Structure 1
Amino acid sequence: MDYTALKNLRTSDFEKASRGYRATSHMANAAKEALERRIAVKMRESLSGVAAKSALHQLRELAKDFHYTQVECGVISTALNALVSDLQAAKKKLDAAVADAEGEKLTVEMDGSVTYPAGGDKYQGKTPPGGTVNGVTDETAKALHRQAARFHPNPHYARAQEYADRIAVALKEATEADEKWTPKLRKLRADDDLTVSAADWVDAQKDTGGVRDGADHYLDGIKTPPKDGDPEDNAEWWKHLSADQRDAYISLHPASIGAMNGIPADARDEANRTVLAETRGQYEMKLNAIPKEPSPQFVPIGARGDMTYSQEWLDWHGKYSERKEYLEGKLKGMRAIQDRFDRTGENGLPEAYLLGFDPDGEGNGRIILANGNPDTADHTAIYVPGTTTDISTIGEDSGDTPSDLKRSESLWNESARLAPGQKISTITWLDYDAPDIIPEAASDRYAEQGAPILHNFLEGNRTAHQYASGETGHTTVIGHSYGSTLIGDTAKTAGWNETPIPADDVLVAGSPGMQADHAADLGIDPKHMWAMGGGSDDFIVRHGGYLSGLGDNLVIPTDPEFGGNIMTSDAGGHGAFWDTEGGQASLSLKNQARVVVARYGDVTLDSKAHW
């Protein structure tokens, strides 16, 4: 960039364009939310049949288009702001150098050189003449100029060279900014069709990475997130960012913002939905790149017509089958999340909030999905699943047993029925490496590693609610099977005598043990400790806890001596605590919901805690 261009540069034009793209991003987001959370809901309530299903499908596709528009326009807006930041830094240096030069009666020429007048002591009757110098940016050349200035007879020479060098540095920085951002901005273009494909989302992810790599100076001007900050630190940081700064961080660091405990649920949801869409596109492209499985799988061998695997199939199987199974499993979990988004309004379901997502995180993948906004809820329940829970199966029903995501939905429905007019949020929390097989569930290792993560999330839930609503609301943490063991370790992590577990009630179902003799040993008020057991297979799990040592001194939460409330349960098996039949909640589900909405007197008990 030359001197005249930088001198006359008006960054306001770029800033205006940035505001335009940001406004378009917000408009697209509003349109997406209107389609998903209002229009589709009303359609489900009033229409049915094939035509209605087709219309809902078209609405979902349109919402996908708006989401893509939102993300790309957000990235473009942030890129323009980053360009402005780089150019303004260079222009500020130029303007300061020019002002300083002119203040000393030096002349800055149209090419950025500096002219100085005659001056200094006369030599042989003549005053040393003036001249013009060009700036340099190389440090070695600058050092040579400084050395020459010490011997130059005209004292104006040294000052002119200094200002010319400062101008040259400013021009160099402006040129570098222009050369850096011009190709990046040119790449921020969608294809010319009307379909948002997997490739489009992969391109969007690349666009974000490219802008992020170039936006260092711009982001340096924004207060950085607290390093290893607790939820309170995160909430304070977010609170003091401007709307544009928040948009910039969501655009450039969606995965980081989506995982940050303590900031608002709607911000985490927006960030994680972007991560979900981009990751799904990436995984779909990887899956599509795997060659089709060869056919036939078997070929005849020998005169009798015996069959064996074909060599072609064996080669394919050895190279691709494991990878294919892995990708299909992860994509199944992603589709389950999208399915929950698409069912907002169905049977009264509230909007969903994706509070955490990482297909490879914590071993089995990470999903934290809320029904209803926990930041504004009167009652929030956090459901922690147990052994074998994985992103690939978290949305998959098993026979009559509902999936982990459906369990949370059933709990929301029953809780909302019991507390009309109150806001309810139920959260499925898979953010730890659950044991993959039953023998692994005999080890405390998984619970010990997951406990600090769960504790941080519970603290973040409480902090975000406090910032949004001015109070904390009522929170119940529910552990199924090994999830209850994790809650026990989380209570220990809390250091209960100083910082109790951040929940008002603790409820466990089918617990193999919480590694404590009594609820009070975990800092849990026995009046707010609830436990229920189930049928024959649940009996095996609980006694497995005895044998494995997860039940401390052979004591588990459904034992009277543990000191909690033992709830009546009609669950016929270890996974049946959330069953519904004919739209009616089971007694086990009703009792859980009664705790969730703090209707303690309505809970049916087999025995009370020893208080």
Structure 2
Amino acid sequence: MITWRDLQNFKAEPYQGAADGWGEVSNRAKAAKDRVEQEMLAKLRDTQTGTTAKEALAALNQLSRNFQYVHAECGLIRAALNSFASGIAAPQRKLKHALEEADQLGFTVKPDGSVQYPAPAPLAPEQGPALFLPNNTQGTANSRAPALFLPNNTQGTANSGAPALFLPDKTQGIATANPNKVKAEDIAHRIASAVREAAEVDARYQSILGKLKTSRSLKVDDTTWADAAQDLKSVRKAAGEFIKEGDIPKGKSPVDNKKWWENLTQEQRDEYAALYPAHIGALDGLPTTTRDDANRVVLAETHGTAQLQLKDWLNKEPDRYLPYISQFTGREIEGARVENPEWRRWNEKKEDLEGRLDGMSKIQSRCNDSSINGSPPAYLLGFDNQNLGHAIVSIGNPDTADNVATYVPGTGAKLSSIKADLDRADMLYDTAKTADSQRKTASVLWLGYDAPQDVLTDASHAKYADAAGAPLRDFLTGIDTAHGGNVNSTLLGHSYGTLVAGTAMRAHPDLPVDNAIFVGSPGVGVDHAKDLNIPADHVWSATAKNDPINLAPPLVGELPILDNTKLFDDHSVLYGCDPTTDDFGGKTFAVADGDPPKWNGDMPAHSQYWEGKSLRHMTGVVTRGHP
């Protein structure tokens, strides 16, 4: 039980020192994780094969997960301890003010928190007749005792919440009271309130810190990360009053975000990142390494939570088939079965959860697949599992790169199918490194929007591109802001992604983009390259001969024209003028014809731009401004 003397003697320094210690453990765990991934794992993967090597890789991957978990949880402990110290400070100040006032008035605060007060000084003759109170006028105000009404004296114990005690003086005809009693009751009440607040803070953080523990045989898995997500919510709820979510910039420019971050102390940065990793990871303008660290925690916790959701969902599988009831007789037909609609809905959700988990696993694998001799490091600049799921992954650090290429995928892109788009970002990086080994290139996959999923329906609406314009603008501006130098920026769009890129460039004249590349485009939302707010000769386009996008019809209102004269009109496609034509006014580069469409509906030519001369030409634009 906390007493007012405990609160009076409370020292924040030991808790703040402990918080610093846990922060150091957190930072060391992060450094250990990076070393395991970038040196031990990478070198082993590059040089060893066989069963033993595979087992060693699995053990090192587990070690990396353990260190990441320690990094995240120790960060929460640091934030909780600092917040506890801050939480006790407020009631301690309240107590201090109450004790100071008691001392100034000559009152005595007893060990139980009650306040003893003296009799009032008699009135001077010129102030009126003296008030004579029989017996004794001194007393004790106690915040917990019931009120005592004393008709003839003021001696006793009074509750601080009771009204002032008025003693009628029948001879003088005026109501009188000892004013010290009222003051003492107020002081006693404030002392009790301060102790009560401190006790509540102590109990809350004792419960939270009691949960932030693990066994010696730590083996982090999805269940552990799901539990970590709950720990984060608990600490955030308790500490949110002191490390406020509302202080994180929202809707501000990347420049404002950067200024806010730079004005924080390192301790404040660590605490914001520990408590609000999703917010910090999404904040354009912050350093790449800061966002990557925060987003990896978000990814791990989201993956763990989703894995438990899938496990729970699998246990709810309904019967796939139901007896067939004849619509004519109303009776069951023996041996006949129909598929259960409830099972179909269950299976759709199951496949969605499995697909998202697979996408998250691919991102985790690529982020961990960094090598000092092989694969370049990957940085997670954005991640969430909302709607179709979103991820922004940079191959190479854009903050230190000379060239940054940002690739926007098109129709069908989503978290569950992200592997192919990650591979494209890797291929562009590898080709750029070969083409220009003297300058650094970062290759970014920007899946920061909900792409249309159906070619014949969704892709005929520009609303997806319109919604993506502002997030893409903020991201590109954020990269430029965090870089702080003269970075050569190329925006690369594929398929519907070309419309996203074109829409952002058209709507935001100050977009920090030096070059644009459009491949397999249904139109970029403008009729001329000059409308993209960069020099027309910095706009490059290509479409393979066998790419079915060549048949994309123009729109009238929101509906495509399907008559034959428009289907094969070179200059008019779904969203404006075909960017590969002379009328558009930009530049073009050569690509292979691509494989023709297949009988099963596959359109390989639409996805073969990251091969051969097409890839080399795109890399040329990224690294030197032309194919």
> Taking structure 2 as the reference length, what is the TM-score of the superposition?
0.84
Q: Aligned residue for 2:426?
A: 409
Q: Aligned residue for 2:205?
A: 181
Pick closer, same or farther for the CA change 1:335–1:4 going to 2, 3 Å. Answer: same
Q: Aligned residue for 2:276?
A: 253
Q: Does 1:202 align with 2:226?
A: yes
Q: Secondary structure at the match of 1:389?
A: coil
Q: Does 1:109 align with 2:110?
A: yes
Structure 1 CA distance, aligned partners of 2:240 and 2:415? Answer: 34
Q: Does 1:577 align with 2:577?
A: no
Q: Aligned residue for 1:13?
A: 14
Structure 1 CA distance, aligned partners of 2:285 and 2:271? Answer: 18
Deviation at 1:298, TM superposition (A): 11
Q: How does 1:135-154 map to 2 (within 5 A)?
A: 135=143, 144-145=162-163, 153-154=177-178
Q: Does 1:243 align with 2:245?
A: no
Could you tell me whether the CA contact under 8 Å between 2:19 and 2:77 is conserved in 1?
A: yes
Q: Secondary structure at the match of 1:218?
A: coil
Q: Does 1:131 align with 2:139?
A: yes
Q: How does 1:188-227 map to 2 (within 5 A)?
A: 188-191=212-215, 193-220=217-244, 224-227=247-250
Structure 1 CA distance, aligned partners of 2:472 and 2:575? Answer: 25
Residues 338-364 of structure 1: per-residue CA shift (max 9 Å, x gap)? 12123222973221111111122xx32
Deviation at 1:551, TM superposition (A): 3.9
Residues 291-333 of structure 1: per-residue CA shift (max 9 Å, x gap)? 38799989999xxx99755x8x848724631221111111111
Could you tell me whether the CA contact under 8 Å between 2:358 and 2:416 is conserved in 1?
A: yes
Could you tell me which runs of 5 or more consecutive residues in structure 1 were left unpaired when the two chains were aligned: 396-402, 580-585, 604-611
Structure 2 CA distance, aligned partners of 1:404 and 1:6? Answer: 58
Structure 2 CA distance, aligned partners of 1:106 and 1:298? Answer: 83
Deviation at 1:189, TM superposition (A): 2.2
Q: Does 1:543 align with 2:551?
A: yes
Deviation at 1:36, TM superposition (A): 0.8
Pick from 580, 593, 596 the counterpart of residue 622 of structure 2. 596
Deviation at 1:130, TM superposition (A): 2.5
Letter paired with 1:382: T
Structure 2 CA distance, aligned partners of 1:293 and 1:345? Answer: 42
Q: Does 1:475 align with 2:489?
A: yes
Structure 1 CA distance, aligned partners of 2:587 and 2:175? Answer: 92
Q: Secondary structure at the match of 2:417?
A: coil
Pick closer, same or farther for the CA change 1:231–1:137 going to 2, 3 Å. Answer: farther
Deviation at 1:459, TM superposition (A): 1.4
Could you tell me whether the CA contact under 8 Å between 1:514 and 1:551 is conserved in 2?
A: no
Pick closer, same or farther for the CA change 1:460–1:142 going to 2, 3 Å. Answer: farther
Q: Does 1:493 align with 2:519?
A: no
Could you tell me whether the CA contact under 8 Å between 1:513 and 1:546 is conserved in 2?
A: no
Q: Aligned residue for 1:582?
A: none
Pick closer, same or farther for the CA change 1:528–1:4 going to 2, 3 Å. Answer: same
Deviation at 1:288, TM superposition (A): 1.6
Could you tell me whether the CA contact under 8 Å between 2:522 and 2:574 is conserved in 1?
A: no
Structure 2 CA distance, aligned partners of 1:244 and 1:442? Answer: 49
Structure 1 CA distance, aligned partners of 2:176 and 2:284? Answer: 63
Pick from 367, 377, 398 the counterpart of residue 351 of structure 1. 377
Q: Secondary structure at the match of 1:597?
A: helix
Could you tell me whether the CA contact under 8 Å between 2:460 and 2:574 is conserved in 1?
A: no
Letter paired with 1:493: A
Q: Aligned residue for 1:70?
A: 71
Deviation at 1:385, TM superposition (A): 0.3
Q: Secondary structure at the match of 1:219?
A: coil
The structure whose residues are more often helix, as a share, is 1
Q: Secondary structure at the match of 1:348?
A: coil
Could you tell me whether the CA contact under 8 Å between 1:455 and 1:493 is conserved in 2?
A: no
Residues 477-500 of structure 1: per-residue CA shift (max 9 Å, x gap)? 100011001111112221x2xx3x
Pick from 284, 288, 297 the counterpart of residue 265 of structure 1. 288
Could you tell me whether the CA contact under 8 Å between 2:496 and 2:522 is conserved in 1?
A: yes
Residues 124-154 of structure 1: per-residue CA shift (max 9 Å, x gap)? 387963322123799xx86744686996643
Q: Percent identity?
A: 35
Q: Aligned residue for 2:568?
A: none
Q: Aligned residue for 1:120?
A: 121
Pick closer, same or farther for the CA change 1:452–1:113 going to 2, 3 Å. Answer: same
Structure 1 CA distance, aligned partners of 2:145 and 2:383? Answer: 47
Q: How many residues align?
A: 568
Deviation at 1:185, TM superposition (A): 1.6
Deviation at 1:278, TM superposition (A): 1.0
Could you tell me whether the CA contact under 8 Å between 2:39 and 2:372 is conserved in 1?
A: no
Could you tell me whether the CA contact under 8 Å between 2:73 and 2:228 is conserved in 1?
A: yes
Pick closer, same or farther for the CA change 1:253–1:551 going to 2, 3 Å. Answer: same
Residues 254-299 of structure 1: per-residue CA shift (max 9 Å, x gap)? 2222222121221211111111111111111121221387999899
Deviation at 1:571, TM superposition (A): 5.5
Letter paired with 2:137: P
Pick from 491, 503, 518 the counterpart of residue 508 of structure 1. 518
Could you tell me whether the CA contact under 8 Å between 1:36 and 1:63 is conserved in 2?
A: yes
CA RMSD of the aligned region, Å? Answer: 3.0
Could you tell me whether the CA contact under 8 Å between 1:488 and 1:522 is conserved in 2?
A: yes
Q: Secondary structure at the match of 1:205?
A: helix
Q: Aligned residue for 1:583?
A: none
Could you tell me which runs of 5 or more consecutive residues in structure 2 were left unpaired when the two chains were aligned: 123-129, 147-158, 168-173, 326-332, 562-571, 595-604
Q: Aligned residue for 2:82?
A: 81
> Taking structure 1 as the reference length, what is the TM-score of the superposition?
0.86
Could you tell me whether the CA contact under 8 Å between 1:106 and 1:116 is conserved in 2?
A: yes
